[in-house]
Amino acid sequence: MNQLLVALDVDTRERALELADQLRGVAGGFKIGSRLFTSEGPSLVTALAARGDRVFLDLKFHDIPTVVGDAVRAASRLGAWMVTVHGAGGRAMLEAAAEAAQQSERPPLVVAVTVLTSFDAAELARIGVSRGLPEQVEALAELATTSGLDGVVASPREVARLRARLGADPTIVTPGIRGEPGGGTTSGDDQVRTLSAAEALAAGSSYLVVGRPIIASPDPLEAARALERQIGETAAHP
């Protein structure tokens, strides 16, 4: 099962479908986030799902439990393979999301966002969270998995700690993938907690979400293949 999920962080249906057609067979699925969903709406999710693609609908639902449950059901009807909710929504909301997925005809995976990869410890403190950043990620991950969710979204820098605490079963989806060991960002990149694909997989990531390093490349297919080779080498030499 291919662990590379390509983030279609573009503005138009035409460009999203062009990238999907180009990368299908290398990517294990495609992420639709707020930018593309707001521009093009739910029909794009349905279109990709109808082509046999796994669609990761990353809208980070965060609302009262009934609303989030209904949103998860709606995502399932569109054909979404995996959806996100915010871990900070609390146990009742997380349980409603899990129950809605389980009751759907085609249950999607539901994963909880822990702490956004744009956050560092100082930013977390600014919003009033007194825990350290790794501790906050762990606390929200444990809340999500004990509420019945399939897993979490966390930066690659927290994956090893999460595996040690949660075990091998939960799905861990990892954004913040950059090309060089140790991560590293480029100008205009707001993700601060990053690692390479090989490092994230070695730590225990289930899926890697990669956007700009692939879709902004002059040759997106070759960029995706290079990451695929990293993934294959890591699997062969864990």
In sign, the C-alpha dihedral spanning 21, 22, 24, 30 is negative
Rounded to whole angstroms, what are the CA distances from 65 to 72, 99, 106, 112, 184?
Answer: 11, 11, 20, 14, 37
Distance of CA 231 to the CA centre of its chain: 17
Determine how many CB atoms are found less than 10 A away from the CB of residue 95.
Answer: 17
Determine how many CB atoms are found less than 10 A away from the CB of residue 111.
Answer: 29
Q: Are strands 55-61 and 82-86 parallel, antiparallel or unpaired?
A: parallel
Catalytic residue among 15, 60, 131, 212: 60
Active-site residue flag, 60: yes
Active site residue ranges:
60
